[in-house]
Amino acid sequence: MEIKGRVACITGTRRIGGRVGFELAKKGAKVALIYNRSKQEAETVAKEIRAIGADAVTIQADLAQVIQVKLMVSQVIKVWGGIDFLINLASIYNSSPLMEITEREWDNNININLRSAFFCAQAVAPAMRLRGGGRIINFTDWTAASNRPRYRGYIPYYVSKMGIIGLTESLALEMASENILVNAIAPGPIIPPPDLSKKNIKKVKENTPLGRWGGAQEIVKLVLNLVESDFITGECIRVDGGRHIY
């Protein structure tokens, strides 16, 4: 599917999401940046997009609330008349020992990492059908794509990201006849979290066969490939520098 003139809706615009939005805009897409609390980051990316002569809007939404998901989608459609690409990047990542996991923490992981991806896909489906198809890209994790939890203390996160893989395959089957292609990306060491120590940053590099962190551009390249492809659907692709084979 050609990118120029298309409408892209990106949830989770901090870090990688902002770069994905900017690169889609460079190729001629109109970009809706969806944020919950990261307004400043979303506005900064929108300003960068407008500076190159492309179109961008920012929309606040709590994607754990289905009513807000539907409102967000209706706002994008009201501005540009439809939606062609949905990039589900919204996610949370935190750690808790088994016996300290609370109901709230479990629900937050499932709601934000998994539930929101489903309801965003459901909400954009009618608009994509009207435009003859679309592309949906979900985000899981390299550990989930490797079918094993490599780290203790991340049960709700890991379960939610395993769910994304099943969701992607199910959506791909359901939507194939309508030319809506659905895939998942499973990042590994892409950008170090801001609270990660220099020691752990180095350790991750040493445990990655390619010996480095990938950088946001590696995710961008795959997103562009998947939205342009007309024959890839139901796939989960790791971008982890070979981390899973170490």
Q: Are 128 and 178 in contact (CB under 8 A)?
A: yes
- Residue among 35, 154, 157, 158 flagged as catalytic: 157
Q: In what order do the strands lie in the sheet with 30-35?
A: 56-60, 30-35, 7-11, 85-88, 134-139, 180-187, 236-239
The answer to whether the beta carbons of residues 69 and 119 sit under 8 Å apart is: yes
Compute the chain's Rg from CA coordinates. 17
Catalytic: 35? no
- Residues 195 and 203: their CA atoms lie apart, in Å, by 15
Annotated active-site positions, please?
157
